[in-house]
Structure 1
Amino acid sequence: MLSRIAQDEIVFAGSTSKIGRALCILLARRGHTVRMITGCEERFQKIKSEAGDGGKNLVRVQTYEEGVGCRVWILGKVMEPKKIQALIPPESLIIDFAVPHVSEEIAKDYRYVNGAALSYSQKDTDLTFCHDVPKTVPACLAAAIVHARENTQKHETGEVDVDEVEGWWEKATRHGFTLACIEPDHAKKD
């Protein structure tokens, strides 16, 4: 998914969270300029250092308003609908992994991706559950399932190891998970 984002400047809310931190580092290492919204200079500097040479692509901003006009936003933190409409131009890309998610009413004006809801192959699972996005599971549940199927003896808590993200995505897709906006390989075969 990250490789599909053009070399745009990206505004990132929730940039110092567990997955936010890892995504910022990966995006910066891939040459994207990432405006990280954070009030904590110390955390920003630590993440910038962890990004190695990519750290030069990380920019600390403290308010949503400092992202006005950017056409790619990643929301790992809830953003009020009025702010979205005021600061993010229509047709911009919004990748949302905050809970609650951007409402359908607001999302319809954007190229919207719910990055926290992974589709799954119904051939591979018989899970019965409730989730706010039909025919998906929360990303954290998908990760727990992958951990169990891979018998890793690991779990979802703690820091994300940036160097393992691509490998975990490969494992997730091997176990039938994908983002709802990407046609999964198993759907092509069905």
Structure 2
Amino acid sequence: MTPSTADQPQMAVEDFEQIAHTAPETVTLEFIDGKLEVKPVPDGDHGTIFMWLLRQCMQHRPELDLYPEQGLRVETYRKGRARPDGALAPRRHFAGQGEWAEPDGVLMTVEVTSHDADTDKRDRHEKRFAYADAGIPVYLLIDREACTLTVYSELENGQYRQHPSYDYGATVELPAPVGITLDTEELKEYAR
């Protein structure tokens, strides 16, 4: 049986990498589920929320770094390429790996939603499946529209079995191998 056109990637991953490499700094490109996607440029609240999380990670787990926008090969499904807002991994983990690194050794990916039409499809669905399929143990989704944090964990057969959501202000336990407790009270200041 021949796959349908809808199941075919828009381009070869090598073509995507060439386009992404030459894109201007004002554009961030990803290749998720076989499709070229444009990731919006973060606004001030997005950056502030990321820095809040970065500080918490550094305080609780100084042997780890939260790498912003590190390109990851999420290849199991259609040779994807994603740039999570953050990738938590041991210090110096990505040294020498180049623009698109293997996800092995990444403990957690983080996405902070943007206020755009594609955030539901991209951050809440496609990336969740891509990160699980790539074997990343924890995916933290900070959803600015819902004012929640959703912690995806307990991988089984390429899917996250657990995905509790917490309102801004709650104490959030990030499970092993992350092992960090987040005090999210400050996030209430960035709710719209």
TM-score after normalising by structure 1:
0.32
Larger strand share, 1 or 2: 2
Larger helix share, 1 or 2: 1
